[in-house]
């Protein structure tokens, strides 16, 4: 140990590390760098997918197995509770509206998925069908591959390759029947494999280097404990849009280094990453082999570790002095307050920011009240508050008594003899009541931004006699502070809309024909898409009993225009039939009670990111848009008895 401490290399390393951590504190950087709002690409909850007809590579005699496999996989995915599988007729109808024809290429598939609001595309292949007549009993094996691709980019995010087997037995010995059974078994095994696959997802913590120079080094917050392996590739997402591709190079237990494979739209801290799935394949011997990335050394070289420590020192030291915004993850979501439209803004502290030095947060709104260092924000919140709700004018946060901190411009330092003086100290401003109101127009799209007022250290210089920026020259070494306002961190677009008004069926309507229900409601300004929901659960909290239909508004910029949607035959609706009481009624079971059916309509602007507050959880981090709507109050109706089936 003594030899190590006395070695020249150790002394140089110690000096470099100390310099890296201390130098940024006195570098005099006037303003922090911009931090970017957290995206919402991370998947969670139920994933909405479309299923494209599977293909057959086993010979024309087995074309029917491809359709069977398509339906079997769709059913298994839906029954898993992890996937919402859109119906075949919905996909066909959307394809007709878009003028698309099967077989669909990748561009057509992406258009279909976007049209239907799906985040994933499922397809597959019958790879082979093999009959073993020499075995006792004789056996049929079917090889099935299933692929799940990301809708916008086409990148593979999950998949399976499984062999289904069926053995002959009394009553089931012909080739066709055995092949069908083997196909079903392969579908079941394939979906089980998909559900068992755990692909790492994470966030980019930092980037070092240039986005354009090819030397960008990336650190992500997932490591070997999360399943990351050297050579594993990730797609980079921002607001659910693919912006690039990276590859893990050095993997540690809790984080990893990565290099850029595709720079795309530029890679930033807080972008989300999702591992690209290594698709299993069949060998020529009809066995499954799993593709694995080539193994590389999991540990860094000594030089790599030194560089890692130096980078960490720079990041931490820069954060300590205000080198990056103390705000991150800004999300704006339309919501309802006291029956009226509102927007909830949520944010959090930056893990590499200035949370211990934050004095207060400022909320800004564009286009009406944009960020201005010398202006008045729409609200000012204390350091421990991370949410604000904007409401329509004439509401105002400012009541004539509330105040906010307004930092001034930097000073020029001390007199050169007594060391550093303090920099700017924020002044307290008390705006007049109603100085800045809530959003002026319901139905307009707004964007919000959050800044923070922070207090950071500034040091005096002991060189020269003239006095410098933020600190006097001379022999003094006093350390002072200054108050600054950080750069803004923006949300995605948010459109406050009014609650949809329902027209018919009337509440508590009787004898409504389930086979011919026509729902009507009134348009709302700013809501260009509606979701009609039908359920036997009056709370609409059991997602397994909610049938949903999306309808595009005929008057997205107007209030009060009647919207009409004729539902398909609800007596045959697979979702509603999950309710035993409803199923007994429509199946004419003797003594079955008449169920109560509930319906409601949700509206939103399709351009909002992420959209209204999630109905199910209220959590701003939910990335599933299924229930991100502004909902009406539910109505109820009682169905009419169904006529007896034809003889």
- Angle at which helix 302-320 crosses helix 8-22, to 10 degrees, equals 30
pLDDT digits (tens, 9 = 90+) for 131-188: 887 777 888 999 999 999 888 778 888 899 999 988 888 877 788 888 899 999 999 9
In this structure, are 630 and 543 located in the same domain?
Answer: yes
Are the beta carbons of 353 and 335 closer than 8 angstroms? no
Boundary-marking domain end, from 164, 196, 228 = 196
Tokens 């309710």 sit at which residue?
Answer: 579
Contacts of 627 (CB under 8 A, 6+ apart): 543, 602, 614, 615, 616
19-45 mean pLDDT? 40
Q: Note whether residue 238 is domain-resident.
A: no
469-478 mean pLDDT? 45
Enumerate the β-bridge partners of residue 361: 381, 452
Contacts of 242 (CB under 8 A, 6+ apart): 150, 152, 153, 155, 235, 236, 264
In this structure, are 487 and 538 located in the same domain?
Answer: no
Q: How confident is the model at residue 325 (pLDDT cuts 50, 70, 90)?
A: low
Q: Note whether residue 40 is domain-resident.
A: no
CA distance 293 to 268: 25
Residue 312: pLDDT above 50? no
- Supply the range of the domain harboring residue 382: 321-494
Q: Note whether residue 447 is domain-resident.
A: yes
Provide the CATH number for the domain around residue 544: 2.60.40.10
Tokens 């109808």 sit at which residue?
Answer: 93
Provide the CATH number for the domain around residue 94: 3.40.50.10610
Share of the chain above pLDDT 70, in %: 78
Query: What pLDDT, on the 0 to 100 scale, is given for residue 9?
Result: 59
Q: What are phi and psi of 569, to 5 degrees?
A: -55, 105
Query: What pLDDT, on the 0 to 100 scale, is given for residue 632?
Result: 97
Token pair of 217 as six digits: 């080094």
CA distance 106 to 150: 11
CA distance 519 to 496: 24
Burial track 168-184 (b if 16+ CB lie within 10 A, e otherwise): beeeeeeeeebbbbbbb
In this structure, are 330 and 479 located in the same domain?
Answer: yes
Residue 318: pLDDT above 60? no
Write the Ramachandran bin of 618: left for phi over 0, alpha for psi from -120 to 50, otherwise beta.
left
Q: Note whether residue 445 is domain-resident.
A: yes
In this structure, are 470 and 546 located in the same domain?
Answer: no
Q: Note whether residue 179 is domain-resident.
A: yes
Q: Note whether residue 258 is domain-resident.
A: no
Query: What pLDDT, on the 0 to 100 scale, is given for residue 458?
Result: 65
Residue 463: pLDDT above 50? no
Query: What pLDDT, on the 0 to 100 scale, is given for residue 531?
Result: 96
Residue 59: pLDDT above 50? yes
Are the beta carbons of 55 and 64 closer than 8 angstroms? no
Boundary-marking domain end, from 162, 196, 230 = 196
Q: Note whether residue 335 is domain-resident.
A: yes
DSSP 33: B
What stretch of H or E contains 203?
strand 201-208
pTM exceeds 0.85: no
E strands present in 209-350: 217-220, 233-238, 241-251, 256-262, 272-275, 281-282, 288-289, 327-337, 340-349
pLDDT digits (tens, 9 = 90+) for 581-632: 999 999 999 999 999 999 999 999 999 999 999 999 998 888 888 999 999 9
CA distance 103 to 111: 14
Query: What pLDDT, on the 0 to 100 scale, is given for residue 2?
Result: 47
Boundary-marking domain end, from 132, 163, 196 = 196
The 3-state DSSP class for residue 439 equals: strand
- Sort 257 into a burial class: Cβ within 10 Å, 0-12 / 13-18 / 19+: buried
Using alpha carbons only, give the angle 257, 262, 267 rounded to the nearest 5 degrees: 60
In this structure, are 520 and 448 located in the same domain?
Answer: no
CA distance 564 to 547: 17
In this structure, are 470 and 339 located in the same domain?
Answer: yes
In order of 13, 29, 352, the CA distances from 24 in angstroms are: 17, 8, 14
How many distinct structural domains can be found in the chain?
3
Residue 91: pLDDT above 80? yes
pLDDT digits (tens, 9 = 90+) for 256-309: 889 888 887 788 888 889 888 878 777 544 555 444 443 434 344 444 444 444
Are the beta carbons of 567 and 601 closer than 8 angstroms? no
The 3-state DSSP class for residue 475 equals: coil
Enumerate the β-bridge partners of residue 452: 361
Q: What are phi and psi of 575, to 5 degrees?
A: -70, -50
What stretch of H or E contains 529?
strand 529-535
pLDDT digits (tens, 9 = 90+) for 386-428: 999 999 999 999 999 999 999 875 444 443 333 344 557 889 9
CA distance 537 to 616: 14
């Amino acid at each position: 140990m003594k030899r190590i401490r006395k070695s020249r290399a150790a002394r140089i390393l110690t000096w470099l590390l100390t310099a890296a951590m201390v130098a940024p504190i006195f570098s005099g950087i006037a303003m922090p760098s911009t931090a970017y709002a957290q995206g919402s690409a991370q998947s969670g909850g139920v994933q909405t997918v479309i299923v494209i007809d599977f293909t057959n590579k086993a010979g024309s005699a087995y074309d029917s197995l491809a359709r069977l496999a398509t339906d079997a996989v769709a059913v298994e995915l839906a029954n898993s509770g992890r996937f919402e599988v859109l119906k075949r007729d919905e996909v066909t109808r959307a394809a007709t509206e878009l003028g698309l024809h099967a077989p669909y290429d990748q561009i057509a598939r992406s258009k279909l998925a976007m049209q239907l609001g799906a985040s994933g595309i499922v397809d597959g292949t019958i790879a082979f069908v093999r009959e073993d007549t020499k075995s006792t009993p004789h056996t049929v094996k079917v090889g099935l591959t299933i692929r799940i691709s990301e809708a916008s980019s086409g990148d593979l995010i999950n998949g399976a390759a499984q062999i289904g087997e069926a053995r002959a037995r009394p009553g089931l010995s012909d080739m066709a029947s055995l092949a069908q059974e083997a196909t079903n078994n392969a579908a079941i095994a394939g979906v089980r494999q998909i559900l068992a696959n755990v692909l790492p997802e994470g966030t980019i913590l930092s980037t070092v280097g240039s986005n354009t120079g090819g030397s960008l080094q990336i650190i992500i917050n997932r490591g070997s404990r999360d399943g990351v392996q050297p050579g594993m590739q990730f797609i980079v997402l921002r607001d659910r849009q693919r912006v690039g591709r990276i590859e893990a190079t050095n993997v540690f237990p809790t984080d990893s280094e990565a290099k850029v494979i595709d720079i795309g739209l530029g890679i930033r801290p807080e972008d989300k990453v999702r591992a690209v799935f290594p698709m299993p394949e069949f060998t020529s011997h009809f066995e499954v082999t799993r593709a694995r990335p080539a193994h590389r050394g999991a540990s860094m070289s000594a030089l790599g570790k030194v560089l890692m420590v130096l980078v960490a020192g720079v990041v931490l030291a820069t954060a300590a002095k205000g080198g990056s915004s103390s705000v991150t993850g800004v999300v704006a979501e339309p919501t309802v307050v006291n029956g009226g439209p509102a927007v909830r803004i949520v944010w959090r502290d930056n893990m590499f920011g200035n949370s211990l030095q934050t004095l207060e947060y400022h909320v800004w709104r564009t286009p009406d009240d944009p960020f201005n260092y010398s202006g008045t924000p729409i609200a000012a919140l204390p350091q421990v508050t991370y949410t604000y709700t904007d409401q329509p004018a004439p509401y105002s946060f400012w009541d004539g008594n509330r105040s906010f901190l307004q930092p001034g411009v930097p000073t020029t330092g001390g007199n050169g003899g007594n060391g550093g003086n303090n920099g700017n100290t924020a002044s307290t401003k008390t705006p007049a009541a109603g100085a800045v109101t809530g959003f002026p127009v319901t139905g307009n799209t707004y964007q919000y931004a959050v800044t923070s007022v922070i207090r950071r250290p500034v040091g005096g210089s002991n060189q020269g006699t003239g006095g410098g920026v933020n600190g006097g020259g001379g022999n003094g070494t006093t350390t002072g502070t200054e108050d600054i306002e950080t750069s803004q961190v923006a949300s995605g677009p948010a459109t406050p809309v009014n609650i949809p008004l329902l027209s018919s069926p009337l509440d508590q309507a009787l004898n409504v024909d389930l086979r011919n229900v026509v729902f009507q409601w009134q348009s709302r300004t700013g809501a260009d898409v509606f979701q009609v929901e039908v359920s036997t659960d009056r709370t609409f909290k059991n997602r397994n009993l909610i049938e949903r239909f999306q309808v595009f508004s005929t008057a997205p910029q107007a209030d009060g225009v009647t919207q009409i949607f004729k539902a398909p035959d609800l007596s045959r609706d697979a979702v509603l039939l999950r309710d035993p009481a409803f199923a007994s009624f429509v199946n004419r079971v003797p003594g079955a009670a008449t169920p109560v059916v509930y319906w409601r309509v949700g509206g939103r602007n399709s351009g909002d990111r992420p959209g209204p507050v999630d109905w199910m959880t209220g959590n701003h981090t939910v990335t599933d848009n299924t229930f991100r709507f502004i909902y009406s109050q539910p109505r109820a109706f009682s169905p009419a008895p169904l006529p007896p089936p034809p003889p």
